[in-house]
Chain A
């Protein structure tokens, strides 16, 4: 397995790691703020009675998908090196689940 950038001896390449960690922290704070913001929008979309459910339900599902991506890539470090195999399996699982639900939506409960 490749070296994770957030593990190993902390004394190696101290300057580089400092910079890297600072960058990571910046990304995490930005995505955290964005996630709070997305959650507020979701609450607003549901609470605002001018929006019909036909708009707000797909809309908050979309926001949920974005949040999952933020969670995986910025908080669980899937953007870092050494996470290739887990992401392959994650996407394969998403694909199979999607196919199943899609088939049920189209040919079972049509």
Chain B
């Protein structure tokens, strides 16, 4: 049954990935799918910037521009950033806590396939009569009026992929609570594990409001409901609240794991213990907590009244405090450290000023009275791109370079990596810095063109040039990936030489059982402690024995496929009467597979001691 080190045909590899429940392979699936959606969202961004490069342009106008703009935001948040964060979590967290897999491997695969089919469904809209066009926030007053099926694709696609995210979040919570190796207390967990833990808790509490909002929207759009229609006694503001009760924590769901990635990188490449570990943990939890009390700062101009605006303004500004704690801790980690400027470290260092700028404009936006000026202008666009790109995307790129050898067993080229970094860094600031001023000069968001003579021409042209720098950086990254996959040098277990956490103690890529023997964790930075005491490996916490593994299964794929079919069926039920039966058939496929999963006993299999010994000996030689 073991699949250790065996050459396989293409079909067998595809089948292996379709049925896998191994967290490391699911990480690769998330990385590939999220990467493809990232490219799609990037192309959409380029189209937007080309359209805005000169005044009175007619490259993509009106409705098509709205669709591209909506899909850029939706794709980047839900289909690129989220899965790439999950890719990092899946690749690293179980190994960092000394576990052999996540708590529910089957659910892990189900979470991925739900996200994937939800994303594919959403993007099918391009070929089936037009994409959603009411912005990524899809405010009900606008989206209920949208003709065609664009918004239906948005509602059903996000619902399906949202289930996947919720499942993934719960899975990581349970994994971190119950599957830590002996000695891995909460206050010895690496910071990436901590941020994953808090981000998963945020997913647990933030996604249900989105689910509720999407269900209400689905009722209104497809089944004659009136939740958001004021003419029929509904209230359009309810959508805005539900969306932002989800939407604000979502920002922290994305950025906290990025903070975790940077914390690992700063410590590793400064060759120092992370400064202020316990205050970092405290700040992470506090950001997660405060993240739920600030959502209405997205709605200052919706007419909440001065009391509500003041409360949400102050709560928002309070978040600057724990974030500031983190920034200073990173600076002090580098202070006096033995710094190596590798590619991940470059991203980490560049992240600090970039993210601080996003934070400062965030506090500016939080001042409710001033926000009446900034609202719906390019100032806001500049702000959130500084936070999301300068924080999350830098974090993901840093993490991808940092853990690439762990995931694929090959080092990415440092030379090409640094080219990517500089192109991306320069392009990013070129694109978005000038947008602050465009916003202050009055340029509105989401509008597909502008007239000449308002002083916006130069700024927009610079911004477009910057976007092409970022596109070039992405192409260099892809070349880097292809080149290293073909002829990269094999990575050691401790690929960077200064690894501190448990993932650097196992082979690159790790064997499917991760640890031949569950390790005993004797402090923060468990692997570093062992290295400093002159040991080669980890102190085992158990004798070598047979390892129990879960069986692969195609059911997660089929469950998700059923929902994908059902979504099409229910979407077209008003035009075609037979369509309802397609929807019911899809649900039957999903429920039938769930039934099969429940009644078929699946006890998994064992990897025997002898096979493990053989594999471990080979790993040492390689």
Chain A residues with CB under 8 Å of chain B are 1, 85, 89, 92-93, 95-96, 99-100, 103-104, 106-109
Structural contact, A92 and B201, CB atoms closer than 8 A: yes
- Smallest Cβ-Cβ distance to A85: which chain B residue: B177
Q: With A and B bound together, what is the CA distance between A108 and B237 in angstroms?
A: 7
Structural contact, B292 and A99, CB atoms closer than 8 A: yes
Q: With A and B bound together, what is the CA distance between A99 and B293 in angstroms?
A: 8
Q: With A and B bound together, what is the CA distance between A106 and B312 in angstroms?
A: 13
Within 8 Å of chain A (Cβ to Cβ): is B596?
no
Report the minimum CB–CB distance from B226 to chain A (whole Å): 16
Q: 16 A-B Cβ contacts within 8 A? A: A1-B178, A89-B201, A89-B204, A92-B201, A93-B205, A100-B209, A100-B241, A100-B245, A104-B238, A104-B241, A106-B308, A107-B296, A107-B304, A107-B308, A108-B235, A108-B238
Report the minimum CB–CB distance from B17 to chain A (whole Å): 33
Chain B residues with CB under 8 Å of chain A are 173, 177-178, 201, 204-205, 209, 235, 237-238, 241, 245, 292-293, 296, 304-305, 308
A residues in contact with B304, CB < 8 Å: 107
- Smallest Cβ-Cβ distance to B299: which chain A residue: A107
| Chain A-chain B contacts (Cβ-Cβ < 8 Å), number | 31
Structural contact, A92 and B241, CB atoms closer than 8 A: no
Structural contact, A96 and B205, CB atoms closer than 8 A: yes
B residues in contact with A89, CB < 8 Å: 173, 201, 204
DSSP class of A's interface residues: helix, strand, loop or mixed?
Answer: helix
Q: With A and B bound together, what is the CA distance between A1 and B304 in angstroms?
A: 46
Structural contact, B205 and A92, CB atoms closer than 8 A: yes
Structural contact, B241 and A108, CB atoms closer than 8 A: yes
Given A85-B177, A92-B201, A92-B205, CB of A103 within 8 Å of CB of B292:
no
A residues in contact with B238, CB < 8 Å: 104, 108
- Smallest Cβ-Cβ distance to B295: which chain A residue: A103
Given A1-B178, A108-B235, CB of A103 within 8 Å of CB of B241:
yes
B residues in contact with A96, CB < 8 Å: 205, 292
- Smallest Cβ-Cβ distance to B288: which chain A residue: A92
A residues in contact with B173, CB < 8 Å: 89
Report the minimum CB–CB distance from B197 to chain A (whole Å): 11
Q: With A and B bound together, what is the CA distance between A107 and B205 in angstroms?
A: 21
Report the minimum CB–CB distance from B620 to chain A (whole Å): 34
Given A107-B304, A108-B237, A108-B241, 16 more pairs with CB closer than 8 A = A1-B178, A85-B177, A89-B173, A89-B201, A89-B204, A92-B205, A95-B292, A96-B205, A96-B292, A99-B292, A103-B241, A103-B296, A104-B238, A107-B308, A108-B238, A109-B235
Report the minimum CB–CB distance from A44 to chain B (whole Å): 35
Q: With A and B bound together, what is the CA distance between A103 and B294 in angstroms?
A: 11
Report the minimum CB–CB distance from B470 to chain A (whole Å): 36
Q: With A and B bound together, what is the CA distance between A96 and B212 in angstroms?
A: 14
B residues in contact with A108, CB < 8 Å: 235, 237-238, 241
Q: With A and B bound together, what is the CA distance between A85 and B293 in angstroms?
A: 22
Report the minimum CB–CB distance from A30 to chain B (whole Å): 32
Report the minimum CB–CB distance from B171 to chain A (whole Å): 14
Q: With A and B bound together, what is the CA distance between A109 and B234 in angstroms?
A: 11
Q: With A and B bound together, what is the CA distance between A92 and B198 in angstroms?
A: 12
- Smallest Cβ-Cβ distance to A88: which chain B residue: B201
7 closest A-B pairs by beta carbon, nearest first, are A96-B205, A107-B308, A107-B304, A85-B177, A96-B292, A108-B237, A100-B245
Q: With A and B bound together, what is the CA distance between A35 and B399 in angstroms?
A: 54
Q: With A and B bound together, what is the CA distance between A106 and B293 in angstroms?
A: 14
B residues in contact with A107, CB < 8 Å: 296, 304-305, 308
Q: With A and B bound together, what is the CA distance between A36 and B35 in angstroms?
A: 58
- Smallest Cβ-Cβ distance to B235: which chain A residue: A108
Report the minimum CB–CB distance from B200 to chain A (whole Å): 11
Q: With A and B bound together, what is the CA distance between A95 and B177 in angstroms?
A: 21
Report the minimum CB–CB distance from B67 to chain A (whole Å): 30
A residues in contact with B296, CB < 8 Å: 103, 107
- Smallest Cβ-Cβ distance to A1: which chain B residue: B178
B residues in contact with A93, CB < 8 Å: 204-205
Q: With A and B bound together, what is the CA distance between A19 and B204 in angstroms?
A: 39
Q: With A and B bound together, what is the CA distance between A109 and B230 in angstroms?
A: 13
